[in-house]
Structure 1
Amino acid sequence: MPDRSGPLGALVIGEALMDLVDDGSSITRSPGGSPANVALGLARLGVATRLRTALAADDDGRAILSRLTDSAVSVDPESMSLDRTSTALAVLDGSGAAAYDFDIEWRLPEPVEVGSAAVVHSGSIALFLEPGAAAVGEVLAARPEGVLVSLDPNIRPSLIGERSAVRATFERLAATADVVKLSDEDAEWLYPGEPLAGVLDRLLELGVGLAAATRGGAGAVLATRAARVEVESLPVVVRDTVGAGDTFMAALIAGVLGRDRGTSLHELREADLLRLGRFAAAAAGVTVSRVGADLPTSDEVARAQQAAAVERSSNASAGTVIW
């Protein structure tokens, strides 16, 4: 049997904000923020999850807090540290893809204790925007032995500064990480003109155990030192892409926590990567099939995987395999 002894929970550190989603005809307010979405996704997938963020005790902050706690995310009381909750205006194009305009403040006035978490995750603006970014880096570098670190840079160029400085920060943090997920757009911004395979190689050379790159409708690539696989996205009708990458990240972390913990991430082979990648892709497929960052439960992902397996079987009999 797999060795899953020890803590299986997650600590997520990063921004929570109110998304204002403009679809061209109306604006919908929806709680978001990449790290907060990951925390929500982990909790909905059954992982005991704690979030340290930065909110205000205003209407937006209370709405975000309610959404998180309703899905069993434990939000640190120290997170209520702002005068006004941050916002992000997401303008959707005809394909459902979002462009963002942010009004955000990020700081961590109190120390963050890892506690009993088996993994610490952070990402996006929290990794780069001061004064909070320095505190995040300290937590990641000082996490207890045996605790995994996962990262998602989720690059927001308008907020995080000059490319070479951001790349240096990212690589310094990645060198402490066990799991790194980035999008093909993140990779292109950080390493202009470099093939995606080369970016994954860079991450593995920095010491990352499991590196993953999402490619929107083209699926994802997962790589370790031992293997590399591609997984396709689910064939779904896309309502919008808000939260898709965060869903993939949450599901990937949940899968890593549920693996045989006697196996090093560096040693994961094709079958392991396919299992992790298909689970994450199925979760992301559920999210993009509905409006907003409405991340799925484990039951919803299971149903999506079952439907995908039926379609794979059907296509395989016709000579075409989806995954």
Structure 2
Amino acid sequence: MPERSGALVIGEALMDLVDDGTSITRSPGGSPANVALGLARLGVETRLRTALGPDDDGRAILERLEGSGVGVDPESLSLERTSTALAVLDASGAAMYDFDIEWRLPSPVAADSAAVVHSGSIALFLEPGASVVADALASRPADVLVSLDPNIRPALLGERSEVRATFESLAATADLVKLSDEDAEWLYPGEPLGDVLDRLLDLGVALAAATRGGDGAILATRAARVEVESLPVQVRDTVGAGDTFMAALIAGVLQLDGRAALAELGEADLLRLGRFAATAAGVTVSRVGADLPTADEVARAQQAAAVDRGTTGAAGTVVW
């Protein structure tokens, strides 16, 4: 069996624009691109297949990703112009959104060299690229783990029943699925969050996780279920928090010995993994923008949190 390592992320990268009436600020975004960035900063060898244009926005996104160690596939330069998401703020700060997004992958994506392949958000649902993503997940070798985050964007989606069917079809191929409480409410209105996690486990997901903002997160396998608290920090903004949590979960999962070990995680291991991810997300929300942390930054925040809990480990190490 060939040696596999690191992560392959397939999904959109775009430029986020915020118009406050006096100026427009631009910052690289896109949930899968953020996850790739987070993985690389955590020390995981990471490759990204996305779709960019040969323009200033595309070059800025490439510079940010490659500057943090993400290997962006050359085939990713496939669009005439880079996708954008514009938020126009009114006097009260409320936003109206205008999306100019194209998700197209002109060639198949081989998911046979990485230990885990991750996708999420727009990439799972917007055609024609969504079909290429689904084919890549379905055709990956049996020992390659699959990670998903639906990161629902209702303005870009069709009927709820069709989106739910697509999500469940993809989740049935996945080993790790993370969703937010808002994602769960949109997909399964009125259904308790714990029941949504049960749905995912029944589909065959080995580890299902749900984030709840400041209320922490829930992690569940068939063997155990735990709640983890959010890191107590002064929140600057929440941009990129969910993507950070996702990246940290994947980084932790890569330390396990395959799918069987993932499904058998007990309470103690789930708590360590969940606290690692929550700590990483806490670092992100403590600063402005989707500025995902490095492994050293998470280690320092973990050590401080462990002191507060009276469970210190070796200083300077990341203990998921």
Shared fold, TM over 0.5:
yes
Deviation for aligned residue 1:49: 0.4
Aligned residues between the structures:
309
Q: 2:79 aligns with which of 82, 107, 131?
A: 82
Distance 1:153 1:278 in 2: 22
How far the C-alpha of 1:89 sits from its partner, in A, is: 2.7
Taking structure 2 as the reference length, what is the TM-score of the superposition? Answer: 0.92
Structure 2 alignment gaps of length 5 or more: 312-320
Amino acid at match of 2:73: D
Tell me the amino acid that sits aligned with residue 10 of structure 2. I
Contact 1:97–1:242 under 8 Å retained in 2: no
1:94-128 CA-to-partner distances (Å, cap 9, x unmatched) read 9x998754221101111111131000000000000
Indicate if the aligned counterparts of 1:97 and 1:240 stay in contact, CA closer than 8 A.
no
Report the alpha carbon displacement of residue 310 of structure 1 after superposing the two structures with TM: 1.9
Look up the match of 2:5. Answer: 8
The answer to which of 220-229 and 110-119 deviates more is 110-119
Could you list the structure 1 runs, at least 4 aligned residues long, displaced by more than 3 angstroms after superposition. 21-27, 90-94, 96-101, 260-263
Aligned partners of 1:250 and 1:91: how far apart in 2?
A: 29
Which residue of 165, 190, 194 corresponds with 2:191? 194
The residue that corresponds to 1:229 in the other structure is 226
Conserved 8 A contact 2:123-2:129: yes
Aligned with 2:121 (options 124, 135, 143): 124
**Other structure's SS at 1:264 match:** helix
Q: Of 116, 130, 133, which residue of structure 2 is paired with 1:133?
A: 130
1:167-206 alignment runs, 5 A limit: 167-206=164-203
Any conservation in 1 of the 2:112–2:141 contact (CA below 8 Å)? no
Residue 113 in structure 1 maps to residue 113 in structure 2 = no
Match of 2:35 in 1: 38
- Residue 292 of structure 1 corresponds to 289
For 1:149 and 1:159, how far apart are their aligned partners in 2? 24
Kindly report the root-mean-square deviation, in angstroms, between the aligned alpha carbons of the 2 structures: 2.2
Q: Which moved more, 1:85-94 or 1:39-48?
A: 85-94
| Aligned counterparts, 1:66-105, within 5 A | 66-90=63-87, 101-105=98-102
Q: Which segment drifts farther, 220-229 or 262-271? A: 262-271
The answer to whether structure 1 residue 162 and structure 2 residue 159 are counterparts is yes
CA distance 1:234–1:117, change in 2 (3 Å): same
CA contact (8 A) 2:3 2:113 kept: no
How far is the alpha carbon of 1:259 from its aligned partner? 2.5
* Percent of residue pairs identical: 83
Q: Aligned runs of 1:197-276 on 2, under 5 Å? A: 197-261=194-258, 263-276=260-273
Superposition deviation, residue 264 in structure 1: 2.4
**TM-score (norm: length of structure 1):** 0.91
Distance 1:282 1:92 in 2: 31
Structure 1 residues 98, 225: closer, same or farther in 2, change over 3 A? farther
Relative distance call for 1:92 and 1:251 in structure 2 (3 A) is farther
Q: Which blocks of at least 5 consecutive residues in structure 1 are unaligned?
A: 315-323
The 2-side partners of 1:300 and 1:14 are apart by 26
Closer/same/farther in 2, CA of residues 88 and 262 from structure 1, 3 Å limit: closer
Q: 1:200 is aligned with what amino acid?
A: L
Following TM superposition, by how much is the alpha carbon of 1:29 offset from its aligned partner in structure 2, in angstroms?
A: 1.2
Mapped contact 1:210–1:266 kept (Cα < 8 A): yes
CA deviation profile, 1:122-163 (whole Å, cap 9, x unmatched): 000000000000110010011012000000000000101110
Q: Residue 97 of structure 1 contacts residue 241 of structure 1 at CA under 8 Å; is this kept in 2?
A: no
Amino acid at match of 1:127: L
Question: 2:118, 2:148 within 8 Å by CA — same for their partners in 1?
Answer: yes
